[in-house]
Amino acid sequence: MINLTAEHYVSGLKDALTSSESDEASDELAALKLATGATPEDITKITALYPNCPRTLLDLLRRVDGTYWREYFGQTIAVFFLGSDVYEYPYYLLSAAQIVESGTDQLFCHDSIRDVYGDKLDAWLPEGRGGQPGGGYRDDRIDPDLPRGRRLHFSDCMNNGGTSQLFIDFDPVGEGKVGQIVRYLHDPDSYAVIADSFEEYLQHLMDQGFGFLNALE
């Protein structure tokens, strides 16, 4: 069965790039048209590592296997494909292989949020909800003791992820939802839930008219 959310997202993004009058959008559209889908083998590796991976993400990867310095037919592309609540930062989609690599990276995958901040966690990231991007806090639906690799890292922001990254969280706490979307933002750091599911997340980007493409103007 076709996943309409994934299909509509890709076609809608291409339409938005087509309708833009900027030269950058034209270049991004040409690059995006080079993209092919992930192999069945790479999809299987994701589902082995993340059995609860949303079907919508898998179907998205079956259409576009990443836009983050990804090589297709001898050409490397870097296309803004996603957004978040941090409107000034568009994001790239990681490839299936990059998702697996991030989730198994031995240098980082075992570290939790608490491991990173230690005894400064509560001071630097007070627990709460609804904090503004740019104000340090930690959403109370996010488990600070969960190893990083347990969350599926699917996107890095425009400056190669140094400022912001996006994750699918399968192990929420409190009132959190399995599959919620977590946005990490650096300096001042914050961890926020920005959608209850990947499908809701994509739908919001479509409802906003792919506003992250404004960075191309």
Domain that holds residue 201: 4-216
Task: Give the pLDDT of residue 135.
Answer: 64
* CATH number of the structural domain spanning residue 156: 3.40.1580.10
Q: How many domains does the chain have?
A: 1
Dihedrals phi, psi of 86, to nearest 5 degrees: -95, 90
Token duo for residue 34: 């080079």
The pLDDT value given to residue 123: 86
The share of the chain scoring above pLDDT 90, in percent, equals 79
Q: What DSSP string describes 73-125? A: TTEEE----B--S-TT--EEEPPHHHHHHHHH-TTTTT--HHHHHGGGHHHHS
Pick from 208, 77, 189: nearest CA to 131? 189
Per-residue pLDDT, averaged over 18-36, amounts to 93
pTM score, whole prediction? 0.95
What does pLDDT average to over the chain?
93
Task: Give the whole-angstrom CA distance, residue 41 versus residue 168.
Answer: 21
Assess contact for 169 and 52: CB atoms under 8 A: no
Cα–Cα distance for residue pair 121/137, rounded to 1 Å? 9
Q: Please name which of 149, 165, 148 lies closest in space to residue 93, comparing C-alpha atoms.
A: 165
d(CA 133, CA 191): 9
Sequence letter at residue 119: D
For residue 174, the model assigns a pLDDT of 94
Each residue's pLDDT tens digit, 32-42: 999 999 999 99
Q: How confident is residue 215, by pLDDT bands cut at 50, 70 and 90?
A: confident
Structure confidence at residue 129 (pLDDT): 80
pLDDT in tens, 137-193: 899 999 999 999 999 999 999 987 678 999 999 999 999 999 999 999 988 889 999
Helix (H) or strand (E) holding 164: strand 164-169
CA distances from 2 to 5, 8, 35, 42, 104 (A): 9, 11, 19, 19, 30
Tokens of 77: 């592309």
Question: Confidence class of residue 88 from pLDDT cuts 50, 70 and 90?
Answer: confident
